Structure 1
């Protein structure tokens, strides 16, 4: 593949009038929607609202220019905030910039190594369980702020939420103010879109909550000071710090790659049936996201990923090229330079309300019903992934989800494997009762070989010849090949001649290397045609019968 596929080109933009207007309008719409989310995710991660804004601007522009999706919008996300929160608790907020740079380097290398298509190997139940788990964590993380308390650093979100609710029940009036603010934001976000779909509900809800809080002088914690400029600064870098953060870097890089590629894939499905927006290149997407996280870290921001919700808004707003995502970042940049004083007065409880509603919207109930009703295995994989995401760790959840999915897939594959006794071809002849033809179908691997070959090796009665048909055997691994050799050896030891028919070319080397074919009584006992194998078996039975009589 050409290396130029990983780099920006002239075809990334279309400056013709209608397309240009559509991109600018979509970018403005997404910028308005992204502003409160950038602030909220920055606060939720522990890095601070300024880090959220910086990420939305710097990473948003870099990912739009260098990424592989024409309509993807990147920036801080809830999933990344979930991963960063324990990192901040363990290593401090200053570690976020270094993690962002190092994680970005890992994602960049993955893109250069052409690993973008690996996300296609993630099973659907794992992806949906992961998404549900993230939505639950985002909601739980906002409960302390919603009831006027502060969660202990590094505590499990579920336990922290339960403790915050218990504290609020016995607490003072602070919980009343924060709960009222969250309720106001939630009601506005849910009702305003019903009046008109074009209303920026989250931004307007935060604005109303801020105005009310200022008018009544509500005793609510506010966002506080924000940067008025963007200045690149190298994060503190020591070998010891890198060693301590290795696990965090791997987790951040894995999440950034997975979420970005999944978001880009969702964008492709949303653009079908509409105006053409150009192809999505997974490898280039990883390159762009890696560069975006590196740039974000150099400006004091967070690791970036493709944002599914903002990408969806971008597509629905008519975006055609990556200019829309660039415009969205410039809108947020204008806020940093022109409205920092106003933004600093936003109550943290208002952002908690935005994230709570956002987390609820992340839960696709129809999709969950489809997963649960698809099969017991998909329901179990979905449930395990979601539970581990909430109870333990996001990356661990994906790993366990993959293991559970693989277990069910292998069990299904093993169950679909068969070794059936087939009738002999042609008219019956005397002595056919001494011949057994077994046809293998499906797979003979470590999960199924013992069951299949037990049936073959257990051949009883007065069988003198066994014909093994392997032409319909699609999968064979080393364990299966070795087990087949052991079955041949056992049958030959019982003076039962074994004939093998229809070995596939790509299986022959494995059967030879494991010594399975060497267990045959004679090298001429390999056949490509069943009629020839049965003819040989009949002649052998005839010879053996005559020898027994003589």
Structure 2
């Protein structure tokens, strides 16, 4: 390896690591960062508890994730304002994994997923998320919201969830198994929390409705002795870290679930960082470094018994809107949560599970605004179909399948649209007209000539009759792939075999090398049949027709040159 390559590699590694530049604005923004961090921590506490319980990992695991992963991602991630921790999308993926493989698989899945995300960042795959279309993103967000809401139905009616069941089936089964009127107490708790969360922002936008709602119903439940299930005992501090042990027989069965978790962690974190960059003035984010930070966060979380983490869009938005401008805000958020665990574990354990269900139900309802749904559905029929299809597959199958199918369908529809916008147009020869012009066909190719549109051009031009010369104008062609170049080559061969001379005008410089490699140039009867200007090509075509007529009529083959 040369010295230049070594220096380039060293610069690449340094760009993925923390630096003093991450905190260059700290002297100016530290007060706002602390306020934003405290606010984000207050908002994160009930969500961390709720997501931990909903995933099957437990409330303590949710708190550990918010603290450990939130701190590591804040220091090593690629966004100055991203707040990370457990999220609803991750819960949707983790719940069936824990139900199938047991709670003991959580640390292994977190470790493997973290390593995969870390590797993606080191390999510079961060910008891949930009290839996911907007309708797909909104579709799987809607699907996640539906799943999260349905997953809360068992706790909302006071019955255990059915392990491994689809969210729709589990919700229906829970309602059928509910013991009435006892279930009314749990529903009352859910309704009270939801009402407070909806009313609180109208009083003041900074009032943490979820935390206020949980405090109110917890106090009422404790004073009145309501017959509702609670979180239960929590540790008063963080557990000691330990390296997860991967048994050889479990490795193969957990590899695919870990890949699913890793894909989701990468997608959601990068989307959240992108949203944060669009609503803040803290500069762009580094997508590759963000993956490195999120990978390290999930690895650290797994070592402490937590869940895989992702960037959290809602908490990140709260951070930005309350003044967060540097990484200090996300660090303060994690430190505040750690203090809450140390000082208030007993109080937290008294929170009714139904209260957490209320928080998540309202959170799910807010995940995708009605205005966004109307916008997507009102855009184009293709985008609306991708949006609805992605949401349905998310709910009925899983997130990763939904994203893959959504991207594939969106790509197919986009290619079809591009193919339809491509054209092969026959044009009149430039004035003044000359005798024999009817023996010359001038075609203009425009748009994209690729595998989705090339065959149409072949059929159109190959159907020509009663012409001696065909001029193919390629100067307006925006996209040419190997299939398109091969079709042009086949077309030239077919016309030449019929005695029709083909002239090619205006191959763009960016297409010339491909045209040469595939054989477009070599397929011409003479290299002089390649032109840069239309007048020269037309005059050459007319001279062919004149020579053919002088040689004895239309049946004579035009001379070369």
TM-score range (shorter-chain normalised) is: over 0.9
Residue 422 of structure 1 corresponds to which residue in structure 2?
427
Q: TM-score, normalised by structure 1?
A: 0.96
In structure 2, distance between residues paired with 1:68 and 1:503: 43
Which aligned pairs between 1:348-497 and structure 2 lie closer than 5 A? 348-460=353-465, 462-497=466-501
In structure 1, distance between residues paired with 2:243 and 2:359: 32
Check whether the contact 2:152–2:360 (CA below 8 A) recurs between aligned residues.
Answer: yes
In structure 2, distance between residues paired with 1:492 and 1:179: 80
Query: Cα RMSD (Å) of the superposition?
Result: 1.6
In structure 2, which of residues 253, 277, 295 is the aligned counterpart of residue 268 of structure 1? 277
In structure 1, distance between residues paired with 2:27 and 2:506: 64
In structure 2, distance between residues paired with 1:14 and 1:437: 63
In structure 1, distance between residues paired with 2:20 and 2:512: 51
CA deviations over 1:196-243 (Å, ceiling 9, x no partner) = 222221111111111111122122111112122221022221232221
Residue 257 of structure 2 corresponds to which residue in structure 1?
248
In structure 2, distance between residues paired with 1:513 and 1:409: 28
Check whether the contact 2:16–2:289 (CA below 8 A) recurs between aligned residues.
Answer: yes
Residue 243 of structure 2 corresponds to which residue in structure 1?
234
In structure 2, distance between residues paired with 1:17 and 1:443: 53
Which aligned pairs between 1:278-289 and structure 2 lie closer than 5 A? 278-289=283-294
In structure 1, distance between residues paired with 2:451 and 2:398: 31
The 3-state SS of whatever aligns with 2:503 is strand
Residue 140 of structure 1 corresponds to which residue in structure 2?
150
Residue 213 of structure 1 corresponds to which residue in structure 2?
221
Which aligned pairs between 1:135-214 and structure 2 lie closer than 5 A? 135-168=145-178, 171-214=179-222
Residue 7 of structure 2 corresponds to which residue in structure 1?
none
- Structure 2 residue 300 is the aligned partner of structure 1 residue 295: yes
CA deviations over 1:433-456 (Å, ceiling 9, x no partner) = 110010100111111111122110
Residue 318 of structure 1 corresponds to which residue in structure 2?
323
CA deviations over 1:226-284 (Å, ceiling 9, x no partner) = 12222102222123222111111111111111111111111112214xxxx34421111
Deviation, 1:125, is 0.9
Deviation, 1:18, is 5.6
In structure 2, distance between residues paired with 1:303 and 1:41: 12
Check whether the contact 2:420–2:453 (CA below 8 A) recurs between aligned residues.
Answer: yes
The 3-state SS of whatever aligns with 2:472 is strand
In structure 2, distance between residues paired with 1:280 and 1:520: 51
Deviation, 1:84, is 0.3
Deviation, 1:17, is 6.2
In structure 1, distance between residues paired with 2:35 and 2:518: 65
The 3-state SS of whatever aligns with 1:245 is helix
- Structure 2 residue 338 is the aligned partner of structure 1 residue 333: yes
In structure 1, distance between residues paired with 2:284 and 2:432: 60
In structure 1, distance between residues paired with 2:27 and 2:212: 30
Check whether the contact 1:14–1:20 (CA below 8 A) recurs between aligned residues.
Answer: no
In structure 1, which of residues 479, 502, 506 is the aligned counterpart of residue 510 of structure 2? 506
In structure 2, distance between residues paired with 1:27 and 1:238: 39
In structure 1, distance between residues paired with 2:12 and 2:97: 38
- Structure 2 residue 523 is the aligned partner of structure 1 residue 519: yes
Q: TM-score, normalised by structure 2?
A: 0.94
Residue 225 of structure 1 corresponds to which residue in structure 2?
233
Deviation, 1:326, is 0.8
Deviation, 1:15, is 7.7
CA deviations over 1:130-169 (Å, ceiling 9, x no partner) = 111111111011011111222221111011112222333x
Check whether the contact 2:141–2:367 (CA below 8 A) recurs between aligned residues.
Answer: yes
The 3-state SS of whatever aligns with 2:152 is helix
The 3-state SS of whatever aligns with 1:474 is strand
Deviation, 1:504, is 2.4
- Structure 2 residue 130 is the aligned partner of structure 1 residue 126: no
